[in-house]
Amino acid sequence: MSSFALDPSRLPIRIQDFDPADAGGRDKERIKAETVELRGRIGKLQELLYANANQSLLILLQGMDTSGKDGASRMVLESVNPAGVQTSAFKAPNTEERAHDYLWRVHRRMPERGYIGVFNRSHYEEVLIVRVDNLVPEKRWKKRYAQINAFEEMLVAEGTIMLKFFLHISKEEQKQRLEDRIADPHKNWKFQSSDLLARAKWADYMRAYEDVLNETSTAHAPWHIVPADKKWVRDFIVAKTVVDALETLKLDWPKPKEDLSKFVIE
């Protein structure tokens, strides 16, 4: 079981070719135990990232409602020192944000060097909801694929590691989760009627997501398609991908800036 990191040389892909319920034949309890270990590893690696403060990591989560963006965020950050994390949830832009270009609010929320950043939705809404709901002309949003690619290339060149996750949930599983929100008093607060409006446009969103994956999966910032029908699969894949990315940095504790042997604590 793994995420599907899209290889730019093997595009285009079709979303329908990826099974949102794929568990790779793995044992649920064993995977959940491995995920706990991975969460702890993320916490330790985050300390090294913070101590070195020369690179940052962005975890970008996109997906339909109920796909688990909040759940994946909580899981990844469970063992991480809050002081080293910056999270952002992108909703409809406010008045100030609308007065700037569409990437302005995103750029200012990028994680600082040494930090892990988490985006719950992101600049990709500017080629998803604006397309499906006809909020901007097609000739305008189509140009944004290339603009986003250039933006992300600059961020990576400046030291940001970008992990982009498409949480791939089926329409059937979403139906079950929405019904659970209505039936369970403890989950009622999560339900919004707007979820049903987006669900009614499922096919349009799948076409939009497919274009996003094909147009913006690059060598410097590839998309990972994560089967999200099973939460334990989703959590394991996201955690494993984050650990692998941080371990690739081969971080060690930085050396002190002064000779510590000359200090005597009385």
* 22-42 per-position pLDDT tens digit: 998 889 999 999 999 999 999
CB neighbour class for 2 (10 Å; exposed up to 12, middle 13-18, buried from 19): middle
Cα 23 from Cα 87, distance rounded (Å): 28
Looking at residue 1, its pLDDT comes to: 47
Looking at residue 3, its pLDDT comes to: 54
Looking at residue 129, its pLDDT comes to: 97
- Residue 107: pLDDT band by 50, 70, 90 thresholds? very high
The sheet that has 116-120: what strands, in order across it? Answer: 4-5, 223-227, 160-168, 56-63, 116-120, 85-89
- Residue 94: pLDDT band by 50, 70, 90 thresholds? very high
**pTM, two decimal places:** 0.95
* Mean pLDDT to the nearest integer, 234-255: 96
User: 237 near 3, Cβ under 8 Å?
Assistant: yes
* Mean pLDDT to the nearest integer, 92-103: 96
Structural tokens at position 252: 């060690």
Closest CA to 150 of 60, 225, 221, 58: 221
Residue with the larger pLDDT of the pair 76 and 169: 169
197 pLDDT above the threshold of 70: yes
Looking at residue 260, its pLDDT comes to: 84
User: 37 near 75, Cβ under 8 Å?
Assistant: no
Cα 159 from Cα 173, distance rounded (Å): 37
